Amino acid sequence: MNNSRRDFLKVGAATSAVLAGSGTLSGAVAKEFASRTKKIPSASHFGAFYAHVRDDKIVDITSQLDSDANPTVMVKALADRNSSDSRVKYPVVRKSYLEGKGRGDLRGKEEFVRVSWDTAIDLVAKAIKKAQEKGGNEALYNASYGGWAHPGAFKPNALAGRFFNQIGGAVRTSGEYSNGAAGQVNPSIVGDMEVYSIQTAHEQIIENTEVMVLWGADLYKTNRAGYSVHNHRCFDAYEEYKKAGIKVISIDPIYTMSAQEFKADWIKIRPGSDVALMLGMMNYLYKSGKYDKEFIEKYTYGFDKFLPYLLGKEDGVEKTPEWAEKLTEIPAKTIRQLADIMISKRTFIAGNWAMQRAHHGEQVDWSIITLASMLGQVGLPGGGFGFSMHYEGGGDANSGKNTVGGMSQGGGDKVKIAIPASRMSDLINKPGETVTYKGKVIKYPKVEFMLSAGGSPIGHQPDVNELIEAMRKLDTVVVVEPWWTPTAKMADIVLPATTTMERDDVAGAMSYSADRIYAMKKIVEPRYESKDDYEIFTMLADKFGKGRRFSRGRTVQQWLERLYKRSSAKREMGISFEEFWKMGVIKYDIPKSATKFVRHEAFRKDPVNNALKTETGKIQIFSDKFASYGYEDFKGHVMWFEPAEWLGNEELVKKYPLHLVSPHPTYRIHSQLDNTWVQNVHKVQGREPIRISPNDAKKFGVKDGEIVEVYNDRGSLLAGVVVTNTIRDGVVAIEEGAWYSPEDAEAGDSFFGNDQRKVRCNSGQVNVLTSSRPTSQMAQATTANTVLVSIKKAGTVSPNVAYNPPKIIGA
């Protein structure tokens, strides 16, 4: 898209309003100008909005202010994304694959050929049947992960799963990237995943909390977007936090957006040492006698089994504040002060998800829960802990009503293999080998066929180069996608899907407030030859004689009406689907009682009748079940395990002296919107920024605004330097989600020999540098924040072509 078009989209309706109100247009002309513009309601992960459409073109996006209290700039980028030059316009097939030569080694390097929809669907069906003949349905891998592509009912991953289940199933994903470690451990510790649970209401925090500890949580940044449709009302609550005089402490290697907003005290912890800090605090609380002994005895199990470790009687190393100081680089005096203020004041610990995306990440939430138990404030108004305050308006009071659900994946899956989310490369590379997972053993099958819909594994998977090498070993890779994402460029067959704006759908608002239902109306007609995911998978199911079973003979509109019937709007309020569709949004009232909700209050009041769903009905400081697994790197209680890569590894630091963290993006959801103008707000010379402290910038001889190469043994990338005082020395940060772009798509076979790891990413995709090392034998989750790197000046660089489509013959 040219710059003039981008600029027009940015100003859009604002310019229209100026023209209409100026003296350059007569009133009649202004009215005619406005009458040609339709205002269509829809919704996105970034908030509810109206699309202003003229002559089937989106001329502006404005927020639905009744539903979005504090709109973000990101919603403005949706129009740009819809008409982006990076759209997949036609069904295409990689040239060698179409010629029957295979040549998986050329994936990502050679041109595609435009084909008809019939040809493309026939080829996909043929590839599936070929894989089934070789290894049954265990030879099929459904890599369609999560539901972030659309906030509505027709999520591509659900439709992909529904299709595969019609034909007997496929290998699928268990767990997730967001909470791959904590999600497998927390239910056994405290009876619930916690990371997605309803949080203590904002009103209770405002009224009762004296100290809030942001332990790695960045409420302001990560609440800018959500899994469903964000209302951004949490930002109003944060203003009340400030007025209430809550003391905020941020324990984080970065002085985050939230720390700045709250003017928080900054504890500049060394990455990967949080568990050590908590153990030091726990040791002090116990030795000083300040911990809540009554709470421990009444509400927890196994403290006596944990205590010998804490006191060093198990391993000869007492976990004192002085011991923790050496690991965390936080003075022992400060560690004691932290414990003292948290035990003496009503304290709420807001945990995060990033810390558990690290080596031995299973220990982090468990440590926070154990520490909070010693503080004794769990279940008290404004006290205890929460792991979801930074996610989708955590703390919003809940309506208690049903919004709308989504398409189910249905039954029929006969494949019992589900691999941990971050084990994608291992699945392909290690057929016949086994992996431990939650006390069980999984054997990897021989996968031949992979399909990805509505997501980009070359982006969210760790160790991008390892994944690329693995994908080149497969017989067939199919991608269903509206844009030429890095994963689409690595496919054999690419099927163009419509965007959210080119289809009808419905969505509910907020995982926690559940207070609205949105009509997501088709805004413009499908571009080029794109089709809805629903139609695409119905066509595929037809090739196996399962089309009617997949669709149940229903149109999209009939499905939407059916899903709507289950909502409280229909069942309790009696609003018909037709009325809802005309209104565009339905709002539920929030009962006053919901503002009084306190997490774990019922358990605290009556731990017998409101027992937790754990082994003992109590908080498990020790788990006999976990101890029985016999894992070397995961035991029956919280422990400090030294990470494989961290600043405490003196030998490795000599080679790679900087710890790299990869926070969530400020102007994206993962990789979404990276191909839009809004990225210009923060990109540096078209690359993802790398934040570095002034001392480190001077040490490495780099300056603000320069392009540098960031590298380790796994790969290298280009990033733009941002020198800032908001990151501690020894740490650099690159936000995740930039689109991967090899500096020379053919370099893997020519200049660099045949070594994918020497192909430099020109765009700044941080997972080029991250490791596929698992958290432990327990959860096998991602360790994306356990990374050491070095940097150097980049020298001469070529243009970043991450957002350009590949060469297509016949287009």
- CA–CA distances in Å: residue 174 to residues 188, 416, 426, 442, 737: 17, 11, 14, 11, 22
Catalytic residue check, 215:
no
Cβ atoms of 484 and 477 closer than 8 Å = no
Euclidean distance between CA atoms 639 and 305, whole angstroms: 12
**Torsions phi, psi for 346 (to 5 deg):** -65, 110
β-bridge mates for residue 47, sequence order = 44
> In this structure, which amino acid lies at residue 287?
K
Residue 669 per-residue DSSP state: B
- Per-residue DSSP letter, 498: P
Q: Which residue bears the tokens 């073109």?
A: 57
247-251 vs 384-386, strand pairing mode: unpaired
Residue of 148, 241, 286, 437 marked catalytic: 148
Residue 321 CA to residue 344 CA, distance in Å, equals: 18
Of all helices (H) and strands (E), which one includes residue 685? none
The first and second tokens of residue 158, run together, are 């659900």
Tell me, what amino acid is at 31?
Answer: K
CB 470 within 8 A of CB 429: yes
How far apart are the C-alpha atoms of 337 and 334, rounded to whole Å? 5
Q: Are 216 and 257 in contact (CB under 8 A)?
A: no
Residue 564 to residue 586: CA distance in whole angstroms: 11
Nearest to 353 by CA among 188, 155, 208, 221: 221
Those residues with Cβ within 8 angstroms of residue 72's Cβ, 6 or more apart along the chain or in another chain:
46, 47, 224, 225, 232
| Tokens linked to 195 | 């990371």
Q: Which of 50, 145, 518, 711 is catalytic?
A: 145
Tell me the sheet residues that pair with 735. none
Secondary structure (H, E, C), 330-353 = CCHHHHHHHHHHHHHCCEEEECCC
Integer angstrom CA distances of residue 575 from 75, 229, 564:
29, 21, 10
In the 3-class helix/strand/coil scheme, how is 737-749 assigned residue by residue? Answer: CCCCCECCCCCCC
Q: Running DSSP on this structure, what letter comes out for residue 201?
A: P
- Spatial strand order of the sheet with 57-63 comes to 37-44, 47-54, 57-63
656 included as an active-site residue: no
From CA 72, how far away is CA 46, in angstroms rounded? 7
Amino acid at 203: E
**C-alpha to C-alpha distance for 380 and 603, rounded to whole angstroms:** 10
Which residue numbers are catalytic? Answer: 145, 148
